[in-house]
Amino acid sequence: MTWFGDSELMDRKISFFSRKRKIFVDWRDHLYNHYLGSKKVRETWWRKLLLLWVVGWFIGSIWIFWFMNSQAVEKRRETLASMCDERARMLQDQFNVSMNHLQALAILVSTFHHSKDPPAIDQITFASYAERTAFERPLTSGVAYAVKVLHHEREQFEKQQGWTIKKMYSSKKSQARNDGAAPEIPETSPVAEEYAPVIFAQDAYKHVISLDMLSGNEDRENILRARESGTGVLTAPFRLLKSNRLGVILTYAVYKSELPSNATPTERIRAAIGYLGGIFDIEALVDKLLHQLACKQSIMVNVYDTTNGKISMYGSNENNNGMYHISALNFGDPVRKHEMHCRFTQKPPLPWLAITTSIGTLVIALLIGYIFHATVNRIVKVEDDYRQMMELKKRAEAADVAKSQFLATVSHEIRTPMNGVLGMLQMLMDTDLDITQQDYVRTAQASGKALVSLINEVLDQAKIESGKLELEAVQFDLRALLDDILSLFYGKAQEKGLELAVYISDQVPETLIGDPGRMRQIITNLVGNSIKFTERGHIYITVHLVEEVMSSSEVEKEAQTTSTLSDFPVVERRQSWDSFKIFNKESSAENSSLSSSPDLINLILSVEDTGVGIPFEAQSRVFTPFMQVGPSISRIHGGTGIGLSISKCLVGLMKGEIGFVSKPQIGSTFTFTAALTRARSNSSEYKSNEFQGMKALVVDHRPVRAKVTKYHLQRLGIHVELTTDLGELLPKINKGDLVVKLVLIDKETWLKEVNFWPIFASKLTKKGQVDIPKLFLLANPTNSIKSNSSSSKEYDSTIIMKPLRASMLQVTLQRALGSGYRENCRNGGLNGQSLRSLLHGRRILVVDDNVVNLRVAAGALKKYGAEVACADSGKKAILALSPPHDFDACFMDIQMPEMDGFEATRRIREMETDLNDRTLRGEVSEGTCGSALQWHTPILAMTADVIQATHEECLKSGMDGYVSKPFEGEQLYREVARFFKSTSI
């Protein structure tokens, strides 16, 4: 009970989760179908996504442009900075060289003027030295030296120099400095504690001698700073009067003795004894520097003094627009500050790389977006097309089901009355009728069979189009099948006077596995067309193995020989299969693999005729459904034009190929291949012991025709020799161990040598031959049997009408040799006595709701000795076949009211299985079950539905076979005899 409760709880949980999962799946499908699955919603979302893609990449392309442009600007800025720093460094280096030379000159003056007594330097020496060393100071336009003079030393100094100390006038702001022109009225320097008069100067600046440098404010400031700091001191920029260009003065203090590096300003002031000044032309300095560089014109340079504001020392007025760089300049004076401003002389070029890259990126993004857009549209279109195709597929499947149902219904409704019509006509033929009545009945039978054939072709074409045509795999005798086809066309060939013959190679197995019905249909279509379009000559059917055709030259010689079956010219047969893939060299590997299988048989069948042929312009549409050579063909010969199309499809299902060769007014040859399987058991239906060891001689002047006769005689087990010369007839009869008992002579050969036969008969009599061979004449429909019949009867000959068939030949030879078979069968069919003995004493139940079909089936079976009982419903059939019973077989219709044949068969099989199981368990005695140990009554379906699914349903329900309506009496005999033979063994 606990386990039961747990399992119930578990079932409840599983059911709960199953419901939850189903709700989730339904909600997901609902969400997709109403939102994401909607075409309009998908298109809206995709448009938004596409717009977002375009906007995003547009912004991205702008960022790419900005980034690459900033990189280019930064690179340009770095280039400008590098160039500007280089020029500033070179300017500083040049200025430092001049400063060093000025400092060295100051030391020279201190050493040779103040430390020597008397001094070694005077004005002439100083001027000469300055001029000669001017090349070492290329940036200076002149130098001068002023000595330090105290007030108490002034008078003595003036007497010593011979001139008075004069005052220097200088402008602090925009007035030009005096660089070489003396004032017109120099004034004596006023009284001061200290003076700095110029005592030495270059010749170009001799006018500054005696000027007190301390009398000028800026010069005074520079001198004071120079002696306090011990370094060079620069003045503010000013315009040189001589060159009208901007320049500066560099001042150095001269000390009487060398001072330590850590000397105080006071010590430096006391130690100072003089001042050396040098004038620098800044513009000339910068121009010289730029001339030294190859890229002088690439940038524009400005030099400024930024100590007290921004004073331009070099360059034109610059605007603040564009890119520029500032490099600091150090001219050795820590108080004064200088800068070099640089900018490119030309405007920056357009950033083409950034422009092209950003535009290219945007174009690529737009192209990708377009590709995605087109792809999505294509996918949407494919999805829409797929949905439409699925909808159309559902409609097509529904239409196909309706079509199949319609075909089944139409087939059943047409075939059922046609079965009654043809069956009653056959029963009418078995009654006593005069010649006119028999002709009427035959005409009605032919019309009915033509209608059934037309229905079969239309149904086959419908099944081909729907892809539902399938093949069976059963054992069958190909030779017997071709004999039946010859019997089928015997009448039409006789009416037209055509010679009809079949030859099958000895290498073809006697029993094969395949679909005999479809094989019969293909050959019937080809032979029917040949008879339809042939008015004289012959129709010749040959069967060989593909390997035999490929390796043997016999078939090739036969195809190329001028001697034909009827002596009419024919087309070259080999041309009809030249295009087959199986004969191509490229398919040799495949052919070898096929031939390596011992059970696989590749047949090649040819149908040769001497008809009107096919016009060359119409040969391309021969296998097209419902197409004929011309509109007059259907009026003259009839037909729907789908026989060859169906045949081609059936050949394809048999893994074969079909082709033809045709020439107008000569004839046509159709050839096809088929892949079948070798059966394990061989058929020996016609090889009876009475013909074993018998020898026959065939006389025919046409080798092909003699070969056909030999083929049929060998099927009966008779040893055959051929000859074309009548002169060899008598020697061959007496030659050999076997005695010739049969001589078969073609009627055409007989008529050519009609005077030979009396001589031949007298020779046999004179030799005293007791066992005279039996003479048979082989007559064609073209040879009138009545003509010369007296001559044939005179020599005790029997006439055998062509086409030759093993069954007909067997009966004829047995009758002529007195073997007890006296009754000849029509058209070579099985004689009624054989079937009557087979079905004698057999009880057969026929079940059909149609009274006419009951009468037809019962009449056909009773004709051959069977005891027939009838039932008109499935329920009555169940009652009749409820075991134990005494029925040997049952023919049951499928479509019946109340209970169909399928259900009735299933219930009968259930009853039989139940009784068999009870018998095995011993619940039922064997005496109660009758003579049968295992109950299984053969039940054969009588169906007017030829759909493959119906046949499969027949076998699934337990039926043992089926017979299609309208059926021939022979169909019933063959099906029922198959089971009786098996039970008799």
Task: Give whole-number Cα distances, 625 to 524, 634, 683, 794, 801, in Å.
Answer: 17, 14, 38, 55, 37
The average pLDDT across 969-982 equals 72
Expressed as residue numbers, the domain containing 735 is 695-782+795-817
Question: What is the rounded radius of gyration, in angstroms, for the C-alpha atoms of the chain?
Answer: 66
The pLDDT score that the predictor gives to residue 330 is 86
614 and 749, same structural domain? no
State the pLDDT at residue 797: 67
- Give the pLDDT score at 630: 54
Domain contains 861: yes
On whether both 836 and 812 belong to a single domain, the answer is no
Task: Give the residue with greater pLDDT, 597 vs 554.
Answer: 597
Residues belonging to the chain:
985
pLDDT of residue 669: 94
494 pLDDT band, cuts 50/70/90, is confident
Out of 344, 372, 401, a domain closes at: 344
**Is 109 part of a structural domain of the chain?**
yes
pLDDT band at residue 343 under the 50/70/90 scheme: confident
Q: Are residues 763 and 875 in the same domain?
A: no
* pLDDT interval class at 828 (50, 70, 90): very low
Same domain, 902 and 957: yes
Q: Is residue 715 part of a domain?
A: yes
Higher pLDDT, 818 or 13: 818
**Mean pLDDT, residues 90-116 taken together:** 85
Which residues have a Cβ under 8 Å from the Cβ of 579 and sit 6 or more positions away?
659
Distances (CA, A) of 30 to 21, 36, 40, 388, 391: 14, 10, 16, 21, 20
Q: What is the pLDDT of residue 19?
A: 63
Domain at 282, CATH number: 3.30.450.350
On whether both 707 and 665 belong to a single domain, the answer is no
How confident is residue 597, by pLDDT bands cut at 50, 70 and 90?
A: low
Domain assignment present for residue 363? The answer is no
- Please write the tens of the pLDDT for every residue from 627-668: 665 555 544 454 566 788 888 989 999 999 999 999 998 999
Q: In this predicted structure, what is the pLDDT of residue 604? A: 94
CB atoms within 10 A of CB 873: 17
pLDDT band of 431, cuts 50, 70, 90: confident
CA 18 from chain center: how many Å? 42
Task: HSE, CB side, 13 Å, CA atoms: give it for residue 640.
Answer: 18
Single out the residue in 320, 344, 368 at which a domain terminates.
344
Residue 748 and residue 617 in one domain: no
Q: Are 498 and 667 in contact (CB under 8 A)?
A: no
758 plus 878 within the same structural domain: no
- Would residue 54 count as lying in a domain? no
Q: How far apart are CA 476 and CA 473, in angstroms?
A: 9
Number of domains in the chain: 4
Q: How far apart are CA 968 and CA 946, in angstroms?
A: 16
Contact (CB, 8 A) for 936 and 912: yes
Q: What is the 3-state secondary structure (H, E, C) of 6-54?
A: HHHHHHHHHHHHHHHHHHHHHHHHHHHHHHHCCHHHHHHHHHHHHHHHH
Average confidence (pLDDT) over 764-771 = 59
Average pLDDT, the chain: 79
**What does DSSP assign to residue 830?**
P
Residue 106 corresponds to which tokens in the numbers above?
């100051």
Residue 588 lies in a domain: no
Range 275-279 average pLDDT: 89
CB-based burial label for 288 (10 Å; 0-12, 13-18, 19+) = middle
Distance of CA 601 to the CA centre of its chain: 34
Which CATH number covers residue 542? 3.30.565.10
pLDDT of 878 over the 80 cut: yes
Task: List pLDDT tens digits, range 115-159.
Answer: 887 888 888 888 888 888 888 877 788 899 999 999 888 889 989
For residue 276, count other CB atoms closer than 10 A to its CB: 24
Contact call for residues 708 and 744 (beta carbons, < 8 A): no
How confident is the model at residue 426, as a pLDDT? 79
For residues 899 and 856, membership in a common domain is answered with yes
pLDDT band, residue 202 (cuts 50/70/90): confident
Q: Read off the pTM.
A: 0.55
Q: How confident is residue 822, by pLDDT bands cut at 50, 70 and 90?
A: very low
Separation of alpha carbons 325 and 301, rounded Å: 10
**Eight-state DSSP code of residue 259:** P
pLDDT band of 790, cuts 50, 70, 90: very low
Label residue 551 exposed, middle or buried (CB < 10 Å: 0-12, 13-18, 19+).
exposed
Same domain? For 309 and 274 the reply is yes
Is residue 357 a contact partner of residue 72, using CB atoms and an 8 Å limit?
A: no
Which helix H or strand E contains 247, and what residues bound it?
strand 246-255
Domain with 771 in it: what CATH number? Answer: 3.40.50.2300
61 within domain boundaries: no
pLDDT digits (tens, 9 = 90+) for 304-337: 888 888 888 888 776 666 788 899 988 888 888 9
Residue predicted with more confidence, 456 or 187 = 187
Q: Do residue 672 and residue 724 come from a single domain?
A: no
More confident residue, 638 or 704: 704
Same domain, 662 and 709: no
Is the domain of 865 the same as that of 963?
A: yes
| Domain end (from 344, 377, 400) | 344
